[in-house]
Amino acid sequence: MLDTLKVAYDNIRFNLKTLIIFQLGYLLLGLVLVLPLVRLLFYGAIRISGYVYITNTMMLNFLMRPQTLVILFAIAVIVSIYVVIEMVTLAILFEFGHYKEKIDVLSLLDAGMRKVGIVLKNHHVKVVFSAFLFLFVVEAFHLSGFASTTTIPRQLIEEGRTLLPLQIGFYMIAVLFVALFIETIFSINIYTFESLSFKKAYLKTRVMLKGQRVKMFGLFVIVNLVLNILLYLFYLVVIALLAGIIFITRGQTQLLGVLLSTLYVTYIIVMTLATIVLIPINYAMIASWYYKRKDVLGYERKNTYVPKARKQRFSPNLIRRVSLTVLTIVLGVNIANTFTLIGHTRSPVELFNRADVVAHRGASLVAPENTLASVQAALDMNVDGVEFDVKMTRDGVPILMHDDTLGRTTDDGTNQNVENVDFSYIETLDAGSWFSDAFDGEPVPTLRETLELIDGRATAYIDLKSRGETFNRAIVDIIEDLDMVDDVKVMSFSLPQLTSIKAMNEDIETVLLIATFIGNFETFIRNDAVDNIAVRGFLLRNNIEFIQRTHEEGKRVYVWTVETYDDAIFFVNRDISGLIAKDPNVAREAVHAKNTNPAIIDWLRVLFEPRNIPQ
């Protein structure tokens, strides 16, 4: 075993600089070309299926559709060809390393592209399938590790239980793929360096594998387990460093929620970069077996195509700078792709989405509701959205206010009706001292001031508390003047009011608020004036099917007002689109805990909950 690992190590080390440059460049190629193509095909499958939105309940049905299976097969072929190119190039690199010959990256690319064309032309299906088997087995280790850190959505588990024969079939196919991987383990090397027919290549592989299958696969498993353990240790170190940074920059209150929100992003980045290491190490190990068995069996080296190594053209410093630049680009592209998948950009697949965290009346637990202070506090928490209430004064100025009267949230001793006073009077009021002396003198803000403060840093959820065409026009005019049509959602309990808003500007997104319900739910979610709905928590708990039905129409469903972690996790686990919450930190914890293993969450709580952090 040690001899095999030493040979693999020597093969990697001998042309290490060339290997690093090639792997970085090839990973970048995959991120900018292959990944977008795969996403395009997958989303194309959704459009062909006729679905607007794939909920977790619908996922298995979608995946089993014939047109989806065809597209998934096409994706597998594309990814396998990408791996074929990598494996053939690595085979050439390790051939040079094994015979202690230097090769620069340009010579490697030249040799690789020529040989890939020959291999694909002569062996197309066979070599692509061999690459697929290699990728399947190698990634199975890492996906199983990833699965241990996540929780499969409840709906998928329930659907899977109804398809027991499908589960059995999947495991049988997996075992078959592992067996075929062992039987074709030397195929890439043989197809790359030896001009043999499929039958002769198969017979030669069987001779080379005789008495070695169990030993080889056992070592393969051990090496990959060790590599995964090392990767997870590195992952934990990164998480610990992130926790320290978050604690310093955000404080202990936001630590756990923000840390949970980084777990998935960090894992994807670490695992993507790990492919730079994992695939070469695994293939170097296969190459070492290949050469060892050739030596034992007395096979001669057959250089059907091995180019002469070119003279080094570039200085080591230039190579290092280029490698660092490529690595930076790889990191940037990977981070951008990851945030595209999990960020504000809404995917048509529920599995890839997370619920938005919307601060109710701003961060109303730490600052007076519906004030610039509460809005700023919410923005400081990095919420996805800020919800606030808007009424109109007698002289036509939209201001932030929930109640019809001024007494509860200002120092207006006469408790006047908002719509019966001018804004000049509103400006004299104190909207903060009722909450805390720290906010003494906090003014009642206008809608314009509030939107200018938010300035696209979060989505503004404008809850309309006044009625009438004059009020609606004032709201639309301000949104348009500030060029924030794409940064707001207008909310109302009144369907006619939302219809009026849509008539004024159809691009403004609307949310119908539902506190009580009698009648046909379909009339709401199919109405063109309703882009999304928001339902009171108690009502939604008793009509949980609203979530699934709304998603089927391609619309979002929010719940209000979320006050506890238990409430938040209840709705998050049922695929809610957004939580309108009094405590955004608690809501964020629930959102990012949804697909995280409970054991990991408990461990993080022990380490990072405020009571465990030194003051």
Average model confidence (pLDDT) across the chain:
86
Q: Which residue has the higher pLDDT, 105 or 519?
A: 105
- pLDDT for the residue numbered 297: 83
Examine the pLDDT at 310 and tell me if it is beyond 60: no
Query: What is the average pLDDT across 243-272?
Result: 78
- pLDDT for the residue numbered 319: 54
Q: Are 202 and 190 in contact (CB under 8 A)?
A: no
Q: Is 402 a catalytic residue?
A: yes
Cα–Cα dist 188/166, whole Å = 32
- pLDDT for the residue numbered 6: 85
Examine the pLDDT at 355 and tell me if it is beyond 70: yes
Q: 397, 399, 367, 396: which is closest to 380 by C-alpha?
A: 367
Weakest-pLDDT range from 210-219, 315-324, 371-380, 515-524? 315-324
- pLDDT for the residue numbered 342: 44
Examine the pLDDT at 274 and tell me if it is beyond 50: yes
Q: Cis link prior to 561 (omega < 30° from 0)? A: yes
Q: Are 587 and 562 in contact (CB under 8 A)?
A: yes
Q: Are 31 and 333 in contact (CB under 8 A)?
A: yes
Domains of the chain: 2-337 (no CATH), 356-401+447-593 (3.20.20.190)
- pLDDT for the residue numbered 411: 95
Examine the pLDDT at 83 and tell me if it is beyond 60: yes
DSSP string over 415-473? --BGGGS-HHHHTT--SSTTT-GGGTTPPPPBHHHHHHHHTTSSEEEEEE-S-SHHHHH
Q: 394, 400, 397, 405: which is closest to 368 by C-alpha?
A: 400
Query: What is the average pLDDT across 25-39?
Result: 87
Angle at which helix 316-342 crosses helix 252-297, to 10 degrees, equals: 120
**What's the maximum distance between 2 C-alpha atoms anywhere in the chain?**
102
Cα dihedral value 451, 454, 456, 457, nearest 10: -170
Examine the pLDDT at 338 and tell me if it is beyond 70: no
- pLDDT for the residue numbered 539: 94
Q: Any residues with CB less than 8 A from the CB of 199 and at least 6 apart, and which?
A: none
- 419-428 pLDDT per residue, tens: 999 999 999 9
Cα–Cα dist 367/431, whole Å = 10
Cα–Cα dist 534/548, whole Å = 14
- pLDDT for the residue numbered 315: 58
Query: What is the average pLDDT across 260-289?
Result: 82
Beta bridge mates, 511: 491, 532
Examine the pLDDT at 328 and tell me if it is beyond 70: no
- 195-227 pLDDT per residue, tens: 788 888 888 888 999 989 998 999 999 998 888
Query: What is the average pLDDT across 151-167?
Result: 68
Q: Any residues with CB less than 8 A from the CB of 196 and at least 6 apart, and which?
A: 190, 204
User: Pick the catalytic residue: 98, 360, 551, 592?
Assistant: 360
Q: Is 551 a catalytic residue?
A: no
Q: Which residue has the higher pLDDT, 73 or 321?
A: 73
Cα–Cα dist 503/323, whole Å = 55
Cα–Cα dist 511/490, whole Å = 6
- pLDDT for the residue numbered 158: 66
Q: 389, 412, 387: which is closest to 399 by C-alpha?
A: 389
Cα–Cα dist 112/29, whole Å = 15
| pLDDT bucket at 333, cuts 50 / 70 / 90 | low
Q: Taking the model in full, what pTM does it have? A: 0.80
Angle (CA) 229 235 239, round 5°? 145
- pLDDT for the residue numbered 318: 59
Weakest-pLDDT range from 159-173, 339-353, 546-560, 581-595? 339-353
Q: Which residue has the higher pLDDT, 313 or 40?
A: 40
Q: Which residue has the higher pLDDT, 139 or 550?
A: 550
- 538-547 pLDDT per residue, tens: 999 999 999 9
- 371-415 pLDDT per residue, tens: 999 999 999 998 999 999 999 999 999 999 999 999 999 999 999
Cα–Cα dist 470/133, whole Å = 66
Highest average pLDDT, of 106-115, 244-253, 347-356, 416-425, comes from 416-425
Distance of CA 234 to the CA centre of its chain: 20
Weakest-pLDDT range from 286-300, 362-376, 573-587, 594-608? 594-608
User: Pick the catalytic residue: 98, 123, 344, 402?
Assistant: 402
Cα–Cα dist 271/20, whole Å = 17
- pLDDT for the residue numbered 164: 72
